[in-house]
Structure 1
Amino acid sequence: MTEPNRKVRSQEGRGRTILGLTGAGALAGVLSAALVMPWAGGLGLTARDAASGFMAMPADLEIPRLVERVLITDVDHRPIAEVAQREREVVRLSEISPWVPAALMAIEDDRFHEHSGLDLKGLLRAATRTAQGDTQGGSTITQQYVKNLLIEQAASEEELERASERTISRKLVELRYAIEVEDRLTKDEIMEGYLNLAYFGAGAHGIEIAARRYFSIAAQDLDPGQAATIVGLVRAPSYYDPLTNPDAARQRRDLVLDRMESTGHLDAAEAAEYKGADLGLDPTPRGGSCYHSEQPFFCDYVMRWLQESEEFAEDPEERRRLLERGGITVRTTLDSAMQEAAQEAIDERVPPGDTTKFAAQVLVEPGTGKVRAMAQNMRYGFDPEEVGTTSINLAVDHADGGSHGYQAGSTFKTFTLAAALDKGLKYKTSFSSPKNVSVSGLSNCDGGVMSKWEVRNAGESDEGSHNMISATKGSVNTYFAQLQRRVGLCETAEMAERVGIHRADGEPLGVWSSFTLGDQEVSPLTVANAYATFASRGTFCEPYPVAAVTVGREGDADFREIRMRSHCDEDAVPTHVADGVNHLLQQTFKGGTANGLGIDRPAAGKTGTTDNAAYAWFAGHTPNLASAVVVGDIRGGEKNPLQGVSIGGRYYGIVYGGTLPGPIWQATMRRAAADLPAESFAPSPSRFGNPSATPPKKKEEEDDSA
């Protein structure tokens, strides 16, 4: 079988002489006068007046970059999502099967290469019948291209209606623009523009997406039958949709094939062969949204982040316009191997499906703020009645598409330790820490004095005399309540803010007595990033999910790459304070609440369980990777605590930070950090005293001396 006549790719016919007239302007004047003659006479106008009026019409049609997809990739350029207001991928004419323009010209404009934007015979026929009340087509490919451009550019319902109306005046506007477009562009450029712009039904804008939608192949691989099927959709995409109306689609395809035969693009035998075959559909489901992506929650987070990123574009309106028009590639910070590790660790222990229990996890790179993974067991869905699904990203703040947060429990004790070391207290700072203790004299940052606070330990074995090391290993509530009093409630809250802690609902932190026990609702991303600050020895970095954005295609005039950068505060926490915290948190793996959760390399971490086990946490880090895990109930942990529950085939009398979030963290970090250098933490600073200090034998009220 031979390919179609290659004149479909040529520039022949541009500026051809018709009726003995040269130049598109003169041609347009005479032909437009002929077009309006039946009505001009009735208005007392001459042909010359009509032609002059026509040529005075605006003709400077803007040809913008087409609305395309936003392609989102992982850090290694692997696609993970496509988001588009209109699902489209612009391709060059050389990347389109030559059977496509052949089919299009055969059915829509077989004199495409012989006219300068106007097919007089077809236009006169259409205008006469339209004026008589029988609306007709007859537009050339160039005129259709113009119409589609006007629809594409419509910024309001009024403009859209005006661009779509089927009237004589609209035909004249199209014609005037078409003549100017023919003078400005080559035939190849017009054909390429048309095929990328046209709507082919089923959400497919442009020939490339249409080829994928109906046949799951690239546009360059379409054969004559497939090209005829797609091109036939142009006239009425819904009616001729092969997915919903295959009989009508086949009849239309056969008509296109007949026209391809009559115009010489196919011989009779070839046309008969394709007409005798079925449609051969192999559809690809519609995409174009985070919902259809591999990583819907991370995709949603990225899109929201870009809408607020001044590095992407300073002006909010410009950011909105760029995202709506697409044609950009977003390379994220997501590490797919780490993402897979996090997802599998969660799904194995809190299986997705018919459950109201959730688990969510975030991995952050210390010293940069790059978000490396973001996983949860709840699948993406919008039906609140469908158990096991949610459209809420459980790992991020409410403003980023997340929840209002979850109380973080004893993971907040880490900030009390940091505040104490920052104030110069030593590891041996000790308190008698009985099962219950009353704490009074606390003041918030506004100077308000808190009422007496009654604190109790989670277990009988916790009571006794403790210092920073033993209290951290055992997560002793009554010790940390007294340490917070010694350091200062406001100072503890301020330290938390210095490492990035903020409420997920956007409200100010509540600075009240139980702050050290994690009574603030926060997101896993916030907690993971706070721990990353200690991992990086005191450098706080704003978390971010995008490494770079490429706008346009390489070689185009508007092509550019925008590289994102870390926004860090190297002095958020003094280095020696961060080193001291890291030393203390390493002890939890040595007979403490994280015992048995090691990952075969140096690690620091802290468990967290809230009152009545509403939520359970584990947050921890190596020097080059930080992570936080939360487990709870999607209906609200306060009313649905993690007590007497079966999760993943295992019964839990109560879920602690070390019994479920901890193993998720461990399984994730073992795999996620496997390819990272096995770095060690800096030595314990000597200023804080003996790094293995044991609790005093006597119950001392307080001792922070050297």
Structure 2
Amino acid sequence: MLQKIGQLVGVGVVAGVLVAALALPAVGGLGITARNVATGFLNMPGDLETPPPPERSVIYDRDGEVIAEIYDQNREVVGLKDMAPVMREAIVAMEDSKFYEHGGIDIAGTFRAAVRTISGNVEGGSSITQQYVKNVLVESADSQAEQEEARETTLGRKVRELRYAIALEQRMSKDEILEGYLNIAYFGDGAYGAESAAQHFFGVSASELSLPQAATLAGTVRYPYLYNPRLNPDAAENRRNVVLDRMADTGRISEAKAKEAKATELGLDITSPSNGCMPSDQPFFCDYVVQQIEQNKRYGETETERARWLRTAGLQIHTTLDMDMQDAAQKAVDEWVPRKNKSRKVAAEVLMDPGSGEIRAMAQSRNYGPDESNIGETSINFAVDAEDGGSTGFQAGSTFKPFTLAAALKAGKEFSTSYSTGNTTTITGQRNCNGGRLAPWTLSNAGDTKGGSTNNMVSGTKGSVNTYFASLQADVGLCNVIRMAETLGVHRADGTSFDNARTQANNSFTLGSEEVSPLTMAAAYATFASRGTYCKPQAIDKIVDEHAGKTIDIKSECERVISKDVADGVGYLLQQTFKGGTTTGLEIGRPAAAKTGTTDGSASAWFAGFTPNLAGTVFVGDPRGPQNYPLRDVTIGGRYYSQVFGATIPGPIWQQTMREATQELPAKDFAAPPSQFGSTSEPQPEQEDGEDGQNADEAASNGGVPDVLGMTADEALGELEAAGFEPNLSSTKVPSDQPADAVGAVNPEPGTGLPEGATVNVFLSSGGGGNGEDAGGGGAGWTGWGQGNPGRGQDD
């Protein structure tokens, strides 16, 4: 009868209940305080906002596969229709059997609770509506103080809940309230809401819950820890049976069904979604995505607001990651630089779509973890800038030389621009961007170069001739080269500008003396691939915020920064490196352009290249400090290297990755070299006295790499060892004019001058002739032509 009256007269009866409670004996001012609360009841605001409860956000790859889940609370909101009827019946039977009959308040229970609360004892008695109100107040609290107020065990809190409950019943249906409650309630063990609880404890969705499973979950909400099925299975089973009995007592199931259900085991199948990037198979890309949201004011005024939005709004974050390309990149870096290699070297690789800036892959040879002292573990993403969760960058060596080429072509220089520099040269008269004159700069090539003492853009690029590029930079102007790099999006990874280079004696900018990230270099090389259009790196395609009813589309930020002719000119020159240049043997079976890079003494090694529809950059080095822990006399992946160059490890990583990553992409040709840049011929070889047409490189063959072409593998290896080199026999055969199984190619080529102990790769012939376009390398690395030193100007 009291329940019916409560449904009819609502607020008046509640006020009467409270007044009746206040009539009980009270001590001191407690009764007066309670009387004041009751008096103000009718004047209390009744509007309660019921925002969606915190829900986990999901990060997807470009094909809709889950990369990671990010959340403060493990919750997936579903509709009431997506919950098994037995789940709804169990929770109502146990928590509020008169739910569909009263007007939001269980009068008898509330009266009893009020009396006991005034007496100093806390008691429940709350209806499902009241419990829903309490949870909403807790979840919507913006501060710790508000959360504590929502949980306080006082009559004042109870009165507020009553007032809100009555108001909710007037504007929401019973099913809407029940749906809200089942989505917001905590079921223990980190599972919020019926859907997440069903998945966590039983490995099923809420729509598939059986009667005993639903009863188990319904039994946890009163005391989630005490009745946690995983931690306290006996208590959980006893509680489940109480729920089943209650369901039978209220006529929701038969006694027979209750008995049958009680005879079953709990049947737990504990599964939990992985929270955060650490458990993800793509942790570093995941971390980059998180950084892109938390650092961007587009998503909130403060980083705290953005972080909370990410972890509570139930976002669907669709990214640009191509899982096939990611797998290819990860496999390659792990194979060549294993994660737990004792030398502690690391490889990082980025693949990017030219023309959109969309990141297709981001991999590195490390496990994601917070303890840097553990071999193979780091939380630093070496592929990106410091502000994005990365490092302060690494000197990029000769991968900077294309920026000098671009500046020269923009200035009107032709491919035939030549300098007679020899193996050593001194550059004088360079000025920084403030007009200050720089000190004379003497630099050398680390060994004989492919182009002899006179080089033009074609031969200088093929052989990565340091002295040539130093002269070209001086001719074009150091400041113009720096500005071209900036135009292509190149910047220091530590966040500082190239101003240091403009004001200090940074003669060696063209040799890659600035610390940058692989992502930055991939974006710059993608600009050449897209024929002059630079696109800001992009990891997120769109964010769906269903609670806010909006989709945020992330459009590519692209602009033309250099002309098509300049981009095509650089692209043509970088293609030549595969034709007897520093990247020979690293072909991928389709048109490609690339550049190696190695800094002084092999402190770090790089490889950057592209096809018309995919760009990629690889870095290898030591995060503890490349200068102090160089790539010399190291064993990585079971292979010993006396010295690592850009073509030794980064090159094969790039080759292996690109061969697999481009399989689903159409094979496209590059544009022809622009006619405005003139002849593409290399300088004629210089003759030496008594050699009758033999050029300087050929004349040096006796002191350089022996000519072992046509020999058997054993003969060639013996010859190279006798010459003081470390031969490495590749498992991949190459097309060649030599007989099958004879030596068809070596890298570097015969006659190349190298330091003693340098690695020379040997490739056996597959027979049938060869044009060099599809020659091999698949697995073994080789040295380039030199080593880089920003101070001395040595680089490959």
Question: Which residue in the other structure is 2:605 paired with?
Answer: 616
Question: Which residue in the other structure is 1:535 paired with?
Answer: 529
CA displacement 1:111-136 (0-9 Å, x = unmatched): 11121111121122222222223221
The counterpart of 2:629, out of the listed 636, 640, 651, is 640
Question: Following superposition of structure 1 onto structure 2, how do residues 267-666 of structure 1 map, counting pairs within 5 Å?
Answer: 267-309=254-296, 319-320=306-307, 322-355=309-342, 356-461=344-449, 464-509=453-498, 510-511=500-501, 512-552=506-546, 558-570=548-560, 572-666=561-655
CA displacement 1:312-349 (0-9 Å, x = unmatched): 56887874553243222111111111111111122222
Three-state SS of the structure 1 residue aligned to 2:363 is: strand
- Higher mean C-alpha displacement, 84-93 vs 311-320: 311-320
One-letter amino acid matched to 2:359 = V
Distance 2:110 2:161 in 1: 11
Distance 1:337 1:317 in 2: 34
CA displacement 1:566-595 (0-9 Å, x = unmatched): 11121x112111111000000011111110
Structure 2: segments with no counterpart, 5+ residues: 689-796
CA displacement 1:174-199 (0-9 Å, x = unmatched): 11111111111111111110111112
The counterpart of 2:15, out of the listed 29, 41, 63, is 29
CA displacement 1:479-535 (0-9 Å, x = unmatched): 111111111111111000000000111011242111111111111100000000011
Alpha-carbon distance change, 584 to 153 in structure 1, aligned in 2, over 3 angstroms:
same
Question: Which residue in the other structure is 1:140 paired with?
Answer: 127
Alpha-carbon distance change, 64 to 644 in structure 1, aligned in 2, over 3 angstroms:
same
The counterpart of 2:224, out of the listed 225, 237, 240, is 237
Distance 2:535 2:34 in 1: 72
Alpha-carbon distance change, 286 to 245 in structure 1, aligned in 2, over 3 angstroms:
farther
Deviation at 1:444, TM superposition (A): 1.3
One-letter amino acid matched to 1:569 = E
One-letter amino acid matched to 2:288 = Y
Deviation at 1:235, TM superposition (A): 1.8
Deviation at 1:546, TM superposition (A): 1.1
The answer to whether the 8 A contact 2:416-2:681 is kept is: no
Alignment of 1:194 with 2:181, yes or no, is yes
Distance 1:639 1:523 in 2: 19
Deviation at 1:354, TM superposition (A): 4.8
Deviation at 1:211, TM superposition (A): 1.4
One-letter amino acid matched to 2:562 = V
One-letter amino acid matched to 1:481 = A
Alignment of 1:214 with 2:201, yes or no, is yes
Distance 1:162 1:310 in 2: 31
Distance 2:448 2:225 in 1: 71
Question: Which residue in the other structure is 1:4 paired with?
Answer: none
- Higher mean C-alpha displacement, 123-132 vs 58-67: 123-132
Question: Which residue in the other structure is 2:787 paired with?
Answer: none
Distance 1:646 1:363 in 2: 27
Question: Following superposition of structure 1 onto structure 2, how do residues 44-59 of structure 1 map, counting pairs within 5 Å?
Answer: 52-59=39-46
One-letter amino acid matched to 1:575 = K
Distance 2:14 2:120 in 1: 25
**Fraction of identical pairs, as percent:** 52
Deviation at 1:619, TM superposition (A): 0.3
Alignment of 1:691 with 2:680, yes or no, is yes
Question: Following superposition of structure 1 onto structure 2, how do residues 114-153 of structure 1 map, counting pairs within 5 Å?
Answer: 114-153=101-140
Distance 1:289 1:85 in 2: 10
Deviation at 1:601, TM superposition (A): 1.1
The answer to whether the 8 A contact 1:531-1:620 is kept is: yes
The answer to whether the 8 A contact 2:586-2:652 is kept is: yes
- Higher mean C-alpha displacement, 67-76 vs 302-311: 302-311
Deviation at 1:674, TM superposition (A): 1.5
Count of equivalent residues: 680
Alignment of 1:74 with 2:55, yes or no, is no
The answer to whether the 8 A contact 1:585-1:606 is kept is: yes
The answer to whether the 8 A contact 1:443-1:449 is kept is: yes
Question: Following superposition of structure 1 onto structure 2, how do residues 247-262 of structure 1 map, counting pairs within 5 Å?
Answer: 247-262=234-249
Alignment of 1:38 with 2:24, yes or no, is yes
Distance 2:167 2:487 in 1: 61
Three-state SS of the structure 2 residue aligned to 1:128 is: helix
Question: Following superposition of structure 1 onto structure 2, how do residues 167-206 of structure 1 map, counting pairs within 5 Å?
Answer: 167-206=154-193
CA displacement 1:440-486 (0-9 Å, x = unmatched): 22111122222222212122345622111111111111111111111
Distance 2:275 2:6 in 1: 50
Structure 1: segments with no counterpart, 5+ residues: 1-12, 700-706
Distance 1:252 1:641 in 2: 64
One-letter amino acid matched to 1:539 = T
Deviation at 1:105, TM superposition (A): 1.7
One-letter amino acid matched to 2:385 = D
Deviation at 1:388, TM superposition (A): 0.6
One-letter amino acid matched to 1:574 = S
Alpha-carbon distance change, 282 to 47 in structure 1, aligned in 2, over 3 angstroms:
closer
One-letter amino acid matched to 1:325 = T
Deviation at 1:58, TM superposition (A): 1.7
The answer to whether the 8 A contact 1:466-1:695 is kept is: no
Three-state SS of the structure 2 residue aligned to 1:412 is: helix
